[in-house]
Structures are given as C-alpha cells and as structure tokens.
Amino acid sequence: MHKKTAVSLAATLACLAGQAQAADWSDTFIGYRYGEEFREPNNTRDVTKSVLQLGHVSGYALGQNFFNLDVLQSDRNDPAQGGGTGATEFYLTYRHQLQLGKALSKDFSFGPVKDVALTAGFDLNTKDTAVAPRKRFLAIGPTLKFNVPGFLDVSLLAAQESNHNGFGTVSKNVNFDTQLMFNVAWGIPFQAGPLPLKFQGFLNYLTEKGKDYNGVNTAPETLMRTSLMLDAGQLAFNRKNLLWVGVGYEYWNNKFGYHDRSATNSAPKDGIRTTTPTLQAELHF
C-alpha cells in the first residue's frame, strides 16, 4: 500500500507542477499538525496523531483547483492491523471550481457574493487497520464565493460514498445512500498590531447516508478543522507567506455517521466525538 501511495504521490506532484506553470496563480505548501485527543469509533482511548500535509491551490482563467493529501500517523492507541505500531492513514481530497462569471463572461455577483461556481471533486482514503477502510467519495454542487479579504466559500453538494469494512469474519463493501454536504471553507488574513495573522479552516455538515455496515441507520455528521496562524516568515525573514505557525482545533461529531444510540444498542458508543486542540505549521513555496 505504501509503495502504491508513494507512486501516486509522485505522479500527483508532477501533475501539480504542470498545473502551476499554466495557472494564473498558485500556492503549494507542506504542513504539519499534532494533537493528543483524537478519537476513533469503538475505541475508548484518546489517540495522539501526527499529520503530514501536502496542499495546493491554484487559479486559472475559468476557476480554480484545490488538492490536499494528509498522511496521518497514530500512536499505539489506534493500532495497525496485527498491532505493534500505530495505524497510518492516507486521505486525499480534490475539488475543482468552475466560476460561472468567468466561464460565461457575466456578472453573477449579488450582495456580499462576488461569484457563483460549480464545484466537483472526490475524496479517497486508505488506512492499515483491521477495518481497512477504502473511502471513495464523489461530490458536486453550487458554491457561493463571498467578497472578503482572502476567501470565504459556501457550498451545498450532493455526495455519494462507498467504503469497506474488514472488521469481523466477513469483509464488507458498502454503497451508502446519496447525502447532502453543507461546506464552508475560509482563509481570512488580518493584522493584530504588528502581528500578521490568518484565520482559516473548514466546516462540513453531512446528512445521514442510510444504513451502516451493521444495518443500523447513520446520523448526520459534523467535522470542523480551524486554526489561527502567525506569519512567522514575515516577522523573522521579511518574507510573506513562507512559514506559518499556530494553534488549531478539531471537532468531529458522529464520526462516519455513527451516533450515540441505535435501534440495536441503547448504550452510548465510544470514540465517535473528537474535540482536540492542535499545534500546526505550514511551509509555503
């Protein structure tokens, strides 16, 4: 799995390099975040995770591209298949926005909205646990792009997920019902006295997606990751957008659609809610 992922990552980097040459603008960075209170379903323990991130965003004549790869390394409280080490997860997200104002040469602005876009993309993941998830997630829908410093995008997407559960005696592949995803993504730069800062993050609210692997109805799911970052490169080296450091927070409720009470089990479920502070850094190039 790791060899295949490395090959895919190399191919993606080559593709991004080509895109950057054709783009009107681009921003690529390597990030790192660390937290000690992550949770996993059916696990009673807090999990420490180190997350290495490769991010890229670029704009061209008709819209923009967003790419993000997270490599998440857990401690032994979230064991890999067979135990001995913590699990490793690869999670890839890609989104493309076709901005209607640019594509149709028309003004779609109204109120605080500067343009309307059609967003489409996918998520892929794999993790070397006993469950062995293989998420395949497609999403499409409209996005409102707000006129603010930095960016603020609000999207309503129709989404379809398939996944795998290898836990237990029978390996299962599940195609979930179509669901709606409300997404807000933002990156707002601001100045606090002499300190150059940015407030960034995203919020996803996903409706239920039918029954899970055990035939139990899923519940709506909420995931928020946000951070307050300091432009340390500007302060130390007089180079803007080079090195950012800061603190963040992750909130994930009803993780994977699991919820506290089900028709088959009235006991609260473990590990379905993450609330953890994080330390973060980004190196842009």
For residues 160 and 150, the answer to whether their CB atoms sit within 8 Å is no
Structure tokens of 64? Answer: 């923009």
Domain total in the chain:
1
Of 221, 187, 180, 220, which is closest to residue 202 (Cα–Cα)?
187
CATH code of the domain containing 149? 2.40.230.20
CB atoms under 10 Å from CB of 164, counted, come to 17
Instruction: Provide the residue-wise pLDDT of the chain in tens; the chain has 285 residues.
Output: 444 544 454 455 445 444 444 689 999 999 999 999 999 998 999 999 999 999 999 999 999 999 999 999 999 999 999 888 999 999 999 999 999 999 999 999 999 999 999 999 999 999 999 889 999 999 999 999 999 999 999 999 999 999 998 865 556 889 999 999 999 999 999 999 999 999 999 999 999 999 988 888 999 999 999 999 999 999 999 999 999 999 999 999 999 998 875 445 545 578 899 999 999 999 999
Domain span including residue 52: 2-284
Three-state DSSP class for 21?
helix
Strand partners, 139: 121, 159
pTM of the complete model: 0.89
